[in-house]
Amino acid sequence: MLGRQALHKTADLRYTVSDAGNVAHGKETTTAEAMKLQKRKAPSFHRKDIPAKGYTYKDYYSWGEDVRCELIDGIPYMLTAPTERHQWIAGRIFTQLTVCLDGKPCRAYIAPFDVRLFHEEDGSDKTVVQPDVLVVCDRKKLSDGRSCRGAPDFVVEVVSDGSVKQDFVTKKAKYEKAGVREYWVIDDEEVYKYVLSDGKYLENVYALNEELRVEVDILPGCSISFKEIIAQALQSEE
């Protein structure tokens, strides 16, 4: 996953979202702009200002697209820009999944795409994540045109320097609880594959190499080859 930093740890930064959707820092606004700003509530980056019960999806959605973060148990976490290697790996996995799923009911998506793991109709749910790659087979979960409302069937996270704990601990627990049927975590050396069985993840670990091909258990006939992924990643490090 992209690197993260808890927003409440950033003490001195506040955002104001303009009517054009841009993030302004202390800029003057016209009366018309000010009225529009009132309609969109920007998040506070101060820990003391986070509501006691945390933020909800309704709050999250009101912040707009320019505030890039995830929401976990009501606490916002800022998303930083990914590395070239991260984007290459996520992109190639997404491409292979798209080809594999062509003509089938399941669809692959790539970040940024909101996933409301514990969707509530009134927007009171407090966890919104943006997996690096995901597959959704139930089209009803996509009916609002903005997000996946409920658990995706398959999720892939590519580990970044700041996301190790989130990907292996926090988000793994959330995906398991929400019922994500298969979850992969890819770091510099291995692919960790978790398949849901009786509500708990069973783990398999594969060493990354150019000969590696891993089956996606929940998508019959679909597998991911790491030959091109690893070859290009090695070139990027030269």
Same domain, 70 and 96: no
Q: How many CB atoms lie within 10 A of CB 64?
A: 17
90 and 73 both lie in a single domain:
no
Can you give the pTM of this predicted structure? 0.81
| Alpha carbon distances (Å) from 219 to 6, 82, 141, 145, 152 | 34, 27, 18, 24, 13
Check whether residue 145 and residue 207 sit in a common domain: yes
Specify which residues 193 forms β-bridges with: 184, 204
- The CATH number of the domain holding residue 103 is 3.90.1570.10
Residues 158 and 110 in one domain: yes
Quote the CA–CA distance of 67 and 63 in Å, as a whole number: 6
- 109/183 same-domain check: yes
Same domain, 21 and 132: no
Beta bridge partners of 122: none
Tens of pLDDT along the chain (238 residues) come to 655 444 443 333 333 333 333 433 444 445 455 445 444 555 555 677 788 899 999 999 999 888 889 999 999 988 888 888 999 999 999 999 999 999 999 999 999 999 999 999 999 999 999 999 999 999 999 999 999 999 999 999 999 888 899 999 999 999 999 999 999 999 999 999 999 999 999 999 999 999 999 999 999 999 999 998 888 765 555 5
**pLDDT attached to residue 79:** 85
Based on the structure, what is the number of domains in the chain? 2
> How far apart, in whole angstroms, are the C-alpha atoms of residue 177 and residue 186?
20
Whether 156 and 204 share a structural domain: yes
**Same-domain check for residues 42 and 65:** yes
Contact 143, 74 (CB under 8 A): no
What residues have CB less than 8 Å from 173, skipping those under 6 apart?
A: none
Looking at residue 7, its pLDDT comes to: 46
